[in-house]
Amino acid sequence: MVPTPANADLKIAVIGGGTGSFTLLSGLKEYTSSLTALVNMADDGGSTGLLRDELGVLPPGDVRQCLVALSDAPKLRDLFNYRFEEGSLKGHAFGNLFLTALEKMTGDFAEGVEVAAEVLNISGRVDPITLTNVTLMMKTKSHGEVKGEFLIGESDLGGERPEMWLEPEAGLNPKAQTAIKEADIVVIAPGNLYGSLAPALIVPGVGEALAASKALKVYICNLVTKPGQTDGYSVSDFASEIERLAGRDFLDAVVFNTRQPDKNLLKKYAGAGELAVAYDMAKLENASYQAFGADLLAGTIWENTSKSDPMAAARTLIRHDPIVTARSIIELYSNRTNED
């Protein structure tokens, strides 16, 4: 769908990181040119983790994915996602190295991101949600303290809803705060709840900015649960955790998938123990937010083509359809505008 004049100038901010943000941005850029990706900055796995450890830089991986999603240059998109498959650079994405070099050259990660955005000819902006060099921390009764996004993302929580914080205490990037304040729509992307979304939502000031924003604030619920972390979570459970992590109720709407993946599809493509997220309409009808259900499953299965991506095995291959999901968000906004 080509943007209509009513939608073309919509200001939309997407909060998250990695695959979830990539999917949403890929769809939403068909509806507006005023997109801002606000990216969590706690990633410490794979290529990104090595670069952080060896060079002391801020994490480039999720930022790279968002830049690529917004790029209108196919060859450069492929270049930034290219992973070296041998030698000392094996496993590193070219885009991660490029962003790292820019940070080292300029001494400013945010400036480096802006230069990369120019090179990739992106439509919109990509801003780190914080410019503090942070480490994600978690505490549960069963595990005590766990340090680092990758370890946290793979921990078995035993049904607990963990305490989470960042060290050192992060400062909200002023550009991120402005994007939330000025947005017409703020979208919380799907993704690893505790390993990807939490480090964005728990940045001090994010919850307050979301609550104060006059934007339509929408959460796109995950398609599948994560074993050991969100086992048995329904749509309403995911939504309540999003608000708990942000420290306040702020959601206006939750968009969720209504078509359950075929059991054979789940068996073949979902990760071990991943199950389709269930929904309880009785609970959702009584929620403080509007629940919007639709068939959001992508018609094709994502395929990992890089043998050198060390994180590929941890990612589900069942994805949201970017255009259908984006259309659902725009419909929600249009309905709200018409009601007003």
Bridge partner residues of 36 (DSSP): 13, 125
What is the three-state SS of 118-177?
HHHCECCEEEECECCCCEEEEEECCCEEEECHHHHHCCCCCCCCCEEEEECCCCECHHHH
Question: Among residues 157, 132, 139, 117, which one has the least CA distance to residue 36?
Answer: 117
Cα distance between residue 234 and residue 231, in whole Å: 9
Question: Among residues 38, 63, 331, 339, which one has the least CA distance to residue 213?
Answer: 38
pLDDT digit string, tens, across residues 248-303:
999 999 999 998 877 777 776 667 788 899 999 999 999 999 999 999 998 665 45
Residue 186 has pLDDT above 90, yes or no: yes
pTM: 0.92
pLDDT of residue 263: 74
Q: What do you get for the CA distance between the two ends of the chain, in Å?
A: 25
Residue 337 banded pLDDT, cuts 50, 70, 90: confident
Residue 306 banded pLDDT, cuts 50, 70, 90: very low
Which stretches within 45-144 are classed as H helix?
46-55, 61-70, 74-81, 94-106, 109-120
Cα distance between residue 44 and residue 65, in whole Å: 15
Rg of the chain on CA atoms, in Å? 19
Residue 152 has pLDDT above 70, yes or no: yes
For residue 237, the enclosing domain spans 5-339
- For residue 199, the one-letter residue type is P
Cα distance between residue 292 and residue 216, in whole Å: 13
Q: How would DSSP label each residue in 242-273?
A: HHHHHTS---SEEEEE-SPPPHHHHHHHSPTT
For residue 321 the two structure tokens come to 């359809």
C-beta atoms surrounding 178 within 10 Å: 14
Q: What CATH number does residue 119 fall under?
A: 3.40.50.10680
Cα distance between residue 291 and residue 161, in whole Å: 23
Evaluate whether 119 touches 67 at the Cβ level (below 8 Å): no
Q: Cα 220 to the chain's mean position, in Å?
A: 10
Long-range CB pairs of 5-10 (<8 Å, 24+ gap) are 6/334, 7/31, 7/32, 7/330, 7/334, 8/32, 8/33, 9/33, 9/34, 10/34, 10/184, 10/185, 10/330, 10/333
For residue 116, is it left (φ>0), alpha (ψ between -120 and 50) or beta?
Answer: alpha
Residue 5 has pLDDT above 60, yes or no: no
pLDDT digit string, tens, across residues 44-101:
999 999 999 999 999 999 999 999 999 999 999 999 999 999 999 999 999 999 999 9
pLDDT digit string, tens, across residues 18-32:
899 999 999 999 999
Cα distance between residue 230 and residue 309, in whole Å: 25
pLDDT digit string, tens, across residues 324-334:
999 999 999 99
Can you tell me which residue has the tokens 């074993």?
A: 227
Residue 339 has pLDDT above 90, yes or no: no
Residue 315 banded pLDDT, cuts 50, 70, 90: very low
Cα distance between residue 214 and residue 192, in whole Å: 27
Domains: count for the chain: 1
pLDDT digit string, tens, across residues 115-137:
999 999 999 999 999 999 999 99
